[in-house]
Structures are given as C-alpha cells and as structure tokens.
Structure 1
Amino acid sequence: MRVSCGLTIIRSGKGLWVTNVNRPCSHVSAELFVPPSPPVDPAQVRELQRFISLSKKVLVMTGAGISTESGIPDYRSDKVGLYARTDRRPIQHIDFVRSAPVRQRYWARNFVGWPQFSSHQPNPAHWALSNWEKLGKLHWLVTQNVDALHTKAGSQRLTELHGCMHRVLCLDCGEQTPRGLLQERFKALNSQWSAEAHGLAPDGDVFLSEEQVQSFLVPTCIRCGGPLKPDVVFFGDTVNPDKVDFVHRRVKEADALLVVGSSLQVYPHGSGQEATNRNTEHWAHTVR
C-alpha cells in the first residue's frame, strides 16, 4: 500500500515557509498505521489490572506500537508497517557517518517531514503512563521511541533508550542543538527550494525523488563546522553503555516489568535496536 499524503513544503510570497498537508490524509493517518487487532478481552483487562494493582514499582518499556495511534507508523506491523507498505529500509549508521550524499538525502527528507512529525500528540496510552508516574505506581519508563511523545505527555522518570529526534548532535564536537532551531537554518539555506513528498515513514522521514534531494543544502555545526546527526541510534549503531547500565539498575529496583508496543523480536545482526530487543526479552523473563 502506498500512502500519498500530498505533504508539500513551499516558500510563500512573504518569505514564510508553509507546510500543506492534504486534510483527508491528516484525518485518517493515525488509523492507517494502527495494525488490526481482535476485540478487547475483558478477562485480559482484568488480568492487567490485577498485575498493576499488585505491583508497587512497575518498570514500563515501550516500543513503536504505542505511537501508531498518534499517527506515527512503525516498521514491522502486519499490513501497515513500513516494511509491509514499501521496500524501503531505515538508514544505516555507517552510511550516514561516512557519506555526505547520504546525509544530504536524509536531511532533505527529514526537513520536509519535520513539521508533521513534530506536531504529533500523545494518545491515551502515553497519558495513562504519565498518570501512573504521578500516582507513584510507575518506577521508571524506558522507551525505544524517538518521537518525544512521552515527554509531551509529562513523563519525567524516563529514559529514551534510542535518543530523540527533537535533538541534533554534531558528530565532531558533540554540540547539541534543538531540532526546531535547525529547521530555521534549513529554511534560510534553502529559500528557493521546494518539494512534495508522497508517503510517510517512521522517525520523521518522508519519500522524495533524487532530483529533489540533489539541490538541497545542509548546514553544518555552528561551533566547529562538523556534520550534524539527529540524537538517535540509527540501525547498526549501539546504545551508550552508560545508558544501558542505568536502565539495568532501574530494572533491578523494580518489582514488575510491563512491555507496551514492542514485539520483543530478536534478530541475528547486532544493531543497537536489535541488541535492545534481546535485552528486553531477557528482562521480561527475569523480572517478575
């Protein structure tokens, strides 16, 4: 299935950048990316309620499935995930670091997709977990997602295991920049550039043609002139060991583990996200 959203970013006559999203697509986008599921089983709801009520220090780990109802597609869901809809695959860390054209392609697509991606809002699941924290039930929240929806919902006892798209890092000096400020630099450098994207992908990505990408200008670090990268763990990269150790300590402190929106799949190759899935499976078997 091809999603054609008519997402267009243009420069208006007043010098302002405007993002147009076809209204019907915007209205149904959340539904498009929610995988089919059977009706809620009341017995399972009661079982979950009992599990939570008997636990005093719950650690919750969330994956991409918690954000699909906010309109953000995931990768692997049957029929609606990126892998099911297209033959596209996520960017690899080593390609981004080594290749300026790869970075140019990534940032052009991200520039177009950012206004919509950054506008996504938490859904009831995010708000429920935030409320658990306020009630003292949730000991810690670990998310594999990079969409900042838990932060928008007010969660504070939070570790973003794979980083966050709302931050940008310099690969040379480590300078951190809010993604919104970088968007303004993109606009200034590309005042005559416009593009229309057809199709949405996870992590703020959209689909553009090579012709559109080639004329896109990418800013460098203001501090040192180095290349910029979103503060996220790309496929093939690894999670910071200190962050992993921190999460392990939170797990040991907890008396229960609840996994929301993650398949816990294990893959044969050692990317950071795949290693996280292996660790998650181990936690799910050992923390009771």
Structure 2
Amino acid sequence: MAEITAALVKELREKTGAGMMDCKKALNEVQGDIEKAIDWLRTKGLSAASKKAGRVAAEGLVGVAANGTSGAAIEVNAETDFVGRNEQFQKFVTAASKLALENGGDLAKVAAAPFPGTGRDVQGELTNLIATIGENMSLRRAASLSVSDGVVVAYTHNAVAPDLGKIGVLVALESTGDKAKLAALGKQFAMHVAATNPQSLTVAELDPTVIERERAVLAEKAGQSGKTGDIIAKMVEGGLRKFHQEVVLLEQAFVMDGKTKISKVVEDAAKQVGAPVRLAGYLRFALGEGIEKKAEDFAAEVAAQLKK
C-alpha cells in the first residue's frame, strides 16, 4: 500500500476543498493516486464544496456556550439566512460553540478538533455540510472569556434556537459573591451590550484613532462658533465626555433604567451579591459585521445562466 503522507493529504485538500479526514480516506481508497482521489471525492459529493468557496457568505449563525467561569462564542457563516433555520446547520454551530469553549476560543484548534460522531474534524464536517446543503460556509471567528472567580454569562439576541442567533454576547463578572445573583446581573448586562454595541469596556481601552477622529470633528464644529480658544477647548472636552457615554460600556447609561451608569450599577451590585463585583470583560459578535455583501443583480444572473 502506498504511503499516505501529510503533504499528499494537504495537496488533495487544496485541490478539492474537502476535509482532512475525507482526503486521507480518499487517498487510502485509491492507494495514493491523487487524480483518482479527486474523482473519489467527487463521487461522494465532497469536492463540490471548493466550487462554492468564492461565494460571499455573510449569513449564518452566532453560537455561544458558557460553563461557570468561562464562555466562548463562534460565528459560522453561510450564503443565505435560510441556512440559519436548517436543523443540520444549527446542530453544527452548537457543537462548534462547545468545542470553542473547550479550546479557549482558538479558531484554528476548533477547526482541527474531532467533530463528535463523524470521524472527521470540524473543518471536514463543515465541508461535508457544504456539499449536503449546497452553500458556501465558513468558520469565521471565535473568542472566549474567563474569570478566576465569578461567572461568564452567554446571551443570544433574537435566538432561533438555544444559544444560537444573529447577535451573541458574553459578559464576565469577577466576584466571590452569590453566583446566581451574579448570573442574573450578567444577563442584564449582556442584553445591554447586545442593544448598545459599545466600542470598549473603559475609556482607557478605547481605540486612540477613534478618539482623535472624534476630537477633530468636535474641534471643527467648535471652531465655527467664533468662541475663544479656551472656550473651544472646553467645548471639545465636554463633547468627548458625551462621546464616551455613548460608546464606552462602563460610561453608558444602563438600558434597564436609562440613567444609571453601568459603572455605578456594578458598584451597587456588591450589596446584592455580598461581595465586590468587577465587570472584567465583554464580547459581542454580530453576524456578518464587517463582511462586504455583494449586491445581487437578478437579471444579470439569469443572463449569465443562459450563456452556459
């Protein structure tokens, strides 16, 4: 029997887009002949996935998972929102989110992890799903949060199934206090994050380029007022404080009452849970954010099909 090397498997994977385990199996079936392996994969419908790889995948689902002091989120993209309602796809994202939790939100490790009950890795199972459903799909991103003592709460906005939706949020609260009360507070904070989409946890963590851009806009507006230089400087600083209240989580007004700062809510929570509380971090994944969606021209698409 021909030796099936890692390089041979890699070459077949690059040519077909099939999963690693499927490529290895194909090569074993045909004694290492790569052309025959390509045909073998085609007969199984597994190489078809590579033909779909160029199509924009901006839909899909965000999955979240949490287990006490740690949590993870993953985004798996597809071409249409119909796939998000597909039970097979939902089961895949649920399993992938649990594997993201096990692997500390490392996407490469998730992709290479064994997918339960299939004999394939996660990427291979996704390739198999692409061939089955007929749409391009991708593992886009994953991340995790953890605390040494406290809770990490997971929340999905407008969930289509448990822990699956178009917006996934994790909130980490550090405290030795009552865990059930912490979890209830964490869920409220997660709902707040889903609604307000803060850009950072603290003012210090806000991207300096964002601050400078805002400062420049404020200075331009203030300069048009005709005020003196010191008054303009005060106007700019006042505008920046207002900006912080809009985009920094701890500076925002809590959506539950519309007035109390999140930082004050965290401080006051110590009385409820029996110990000081620190909002250690948050994570918000919105499906498809940052992906440039291609505008579809139906007439052009039909014309292109007629030319084939």
User: TM bucket by the smaller chain?
Assistant: under 0.3
State TM-score, norm by structure 2.
0.23
Structure 1 or 2, whichever has the larger Rg, is: 2
Q: Which has the higher helix share?
A: 2
